[in-house]
């Protein structure tokens, strides 16, 4: 039973994460919270997948998802700071 339950759970977490991220993007009209939410769900799906089948490929998938989440968050944060600085009125 566990052989089919955990991959299905990981798939459902992924689908729910895509839906939650889409709803967050529509509701908030901002990309950063939606991408953060989606990457959290994808990381959770990767960890569920890893718990079912501990292999090097599953570990690499979870580690890659975590690295992608951190990279996206840093890039979106830097982009927000750059936009904020470029929108500020010039100082005299």
The ranges assigned to domains in the chain are: 2-87
From first to last of the 92 residues of the chain, give the pLDDT tens digit.
557 888 899 899 999 999 999 999 999 998 888 988 998 898 898 888 888 777 888 788 888 888 988 888 888 888 877 777 776 666 65
The pTM score is 0.74
Which pair of structure tokens corresponds to residue 36?
A: 């953060």
DSSP string, 15-76: HHHHHHHHHHHHHH--HHHHHHHHHHHHHHHHHHHHHHS--HHHHHHHHHHHHHHHHHHHHH
Angle formed by the axes of helices 2-28 and 31-52, to 10°? 180
CB 62 within 8 A of CB 43: yes
Give the pLDDT score at 41: 92
pLDDT value, residue 19:
95
The pLDDT of residue 62: 82
């Amino acid at each position: 039973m566990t052989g089919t339950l955990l991959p299905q759970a990981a798939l459902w977490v992924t689908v729910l994460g895509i839906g939650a991220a889409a709803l967050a993007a529509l509701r908030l009209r901002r990309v950063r919270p939606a991408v953060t939410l989606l990457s959290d769900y994808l990381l959770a799906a990767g960890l569920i997948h890893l718990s079912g089948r501990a292999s090097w490929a599953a570990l690499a998938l979870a580690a890659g998802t975590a690295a992608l989440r951190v990279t996206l968050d840093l890039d979106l944060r830097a982009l927000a700071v750059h936009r904020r600085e470029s929108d500020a009125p010039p100082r005299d």
